[in-house]
């Protein structure tokens, strides 16, 4: 197949490595600044290239900054996917749209399956939800893939920030009442690479198995990166002031992917591999 991969962040670069290593497909990569998906001409550009599959790993991911700049977040997260879907519809390409656990309300004690009701809170989450709605309204051949708490080589993510903060300031305060599914970008990329060969369009939660709080994730990251003497104090989310409040318990259940045999390893094991590679233990 001819795969058009859009975006070169954490997930985009993991997808590029996976697809290149597999050598099963011809891969074209679109990155900024040569391509801006928030430009309407994106639809025509896709149609001209006429790939078999488009994977959209591009997004505005600055969750806090989105609160003060909703137009920019919506341009990339809602209009960008809309234009890609228009292009895909006109050349009958399949589209992988990547979304987030934050489209769910995240009520404590609840777990969210692929077709559960969505209720986005923050500007970022609403812009991602608008992207989901746009692509599914415009095109039928859509794989809607939600991930959560993404981390991968070279990216700035929660594990890398925890290790940097531990080195800088020693003891840490970490939120213990916000839960999610750590998702290792190379594992999600491998699952997406399988998914695009199934032609089973629909929604998927491709997250590493299990879930945890930010505090539990920080403790495991520190243990795996040789910083286990760092003292970590558990705090409540309301004690950590930030412009946007993420959902407390937007924990995803991978039911649709698991039914097709697409299951990611437990998050503990993925964190161990990431830390081994990233922090050279
Ligand atoms: N990070 C998380 O914790 C998390 C959690 C849940 C879901 N997700 C979702 O997972 C997906 C991948 O996230 P990620 O962490 O890999 O993101 P990332 O590392 O921030 O990368 C985003 C990519 O999108 C590109 N981009 C931004 N605006 C663009 C535009 N207008 N046109 C073309 N490209 C543009 C960026 O380019 P530049 O490098 O030039 O900025 C970058 O390559 C996103 O859909 C995100 O919403 C992420």
Distance in Å, CA 69 to ligand 1 centroid: 16
When pLDDT is averaged across residues 80-88 and rounded to a whole number, the result is 98
CATH of domain 2-149+183-209+250-265: 3.40.50.720
Question: How would you write 198-267 as a 3-class SS string?
Answer: CCCCEEEECCEECCEEHHHHHHHHHHHCCCCCCCEEEECHHHCCCCCCCCCECEECCCHHHHCCCCEEEH
The dihedral over CA atoms of 246, 248, 254, 256, expressed in degrees to the nearest 10, equals: -70
Give the residue, out of 5, 6, 7, 205, with the most ligand 1 atoms within 8 A of its beta carbon, to mutate for a pocket test: 7
Take atom 7 of ligand 1 and give the residue whose Cα is closest. Answer: 100
β-pairing, 264-266 with 183-184?
unpaired
Find all residues with CB under 8 Å of 223, minimum gap 6, and list them.
none
* DSSP assignment string, 94-146: EEEEEEEGGGS---TT-EE-TTSPP---SHHHHHHHHHHHHHHHH-SSEEEEE
Cα distance between residue 181 and residue 73, in whole Å: 23
Closest ligand 1 atom to residue 124 Cα is 47
Q: Are 139 and 91 in contact (CB under 8 A)?
A: no
Per-residue pLDDT, 77: 98
- What separation in Å is there between the alpha carbon of 98 and the centre of ligand 1? 9
Which residue has the CA at smallest separation from atom 17 of ligand 1?
A: 9
Q: Which residues are known catalytic residues?
A: 124
* CA-wise closest residue to 88 among 190, 196, 176, 219: 196
The ligand 1 atom nearest the CA atom of 10 = 16
What pLDDT, on the 0 to 100 scale, is given for residue 229? Answer: 87
Classify residue 34 by its DSSP letter. T
Contacts of 20 (CB under 8 A, 6+ apart): 27
The domain limits of the chain are: 2-149+183-209+250-265
Lowest mean pLDDT among 171-180, 205-214, 239-248: 239-248
Binding-site residues, ligand 1, Cβ < 6 A: 7-12, 32, 35-38, 57-61, 76, 80, 98, 100, 128, 147-150, 155
Residue 53 CA to ligand 1 centre (angstroms): 19
**Averaged pLDDT for residues 181-187:** 98
pLDDT tens readout for residues 16-43: 999 999 999 999 999 999 999 999 999 9
Tell whether omega for the bond before 33 is within 30 degrees of 0, i.e. cis: yes
Q: Grade residue 76 by pLDDT with cuts at 50, 70 and 90.
A: very high
């Amino acid at each position: 197949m001819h795969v058009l991969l859009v975006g070169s962040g954490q997930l985009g670069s993991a997808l590029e490595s996976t697809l290149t290593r597999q050598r099963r497909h011809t891969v074209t990569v679109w990155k900024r600044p040569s391509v801006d998906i928030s430009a309407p001409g994106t639809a025509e550009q896709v149609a001209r290239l006429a790939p078999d599959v488009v994977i959209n790993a591009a997004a505005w991911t600055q969750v806090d900054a989105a609160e003060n700049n909703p137009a920019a977040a919506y341009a990339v997260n809602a209009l960008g996917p809309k234009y890609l879907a228009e292009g895909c519809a006109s050349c009958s390409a399949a589209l992988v749209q990547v979304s987030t656990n934050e489209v769910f309300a995240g009520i404590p004690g609840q777990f969210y399956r692929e077709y559960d009701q969505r209720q986005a809170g923050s500007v970022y989450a609403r812009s991602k939800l608008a992207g989901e709605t746009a692509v599914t309204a415009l095109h039928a051949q859509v794989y809607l893939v939600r991930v959560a708490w993404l981390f991968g080589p070279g990216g700035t993510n929660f594990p890398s920030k925890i290790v940097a903060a531990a080195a800088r300031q020693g003891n840490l305060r970490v939120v213990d009442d916000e839960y999610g599914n750590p998702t290792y970008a190379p594992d999600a990329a491998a699952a997406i690479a399988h998914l695009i060969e199934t032609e089973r369009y629909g929604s998927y939660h491709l997250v590493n198995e299990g879930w945890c709080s930010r505090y539990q994730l920080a403790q495991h990251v520190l243990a795996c990166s040789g910083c286990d003497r760092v003292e970590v104090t558990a705090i409540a989310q309301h004690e950590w002031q930030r412009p946007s409040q993420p959902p407390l318990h937007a924990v995803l259940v991978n039911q649709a992917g698991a039914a097709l045999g697409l299951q990611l390893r437990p998050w503990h094991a993925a964190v161990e591999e990431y830390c081994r590679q990233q922090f050279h233990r």
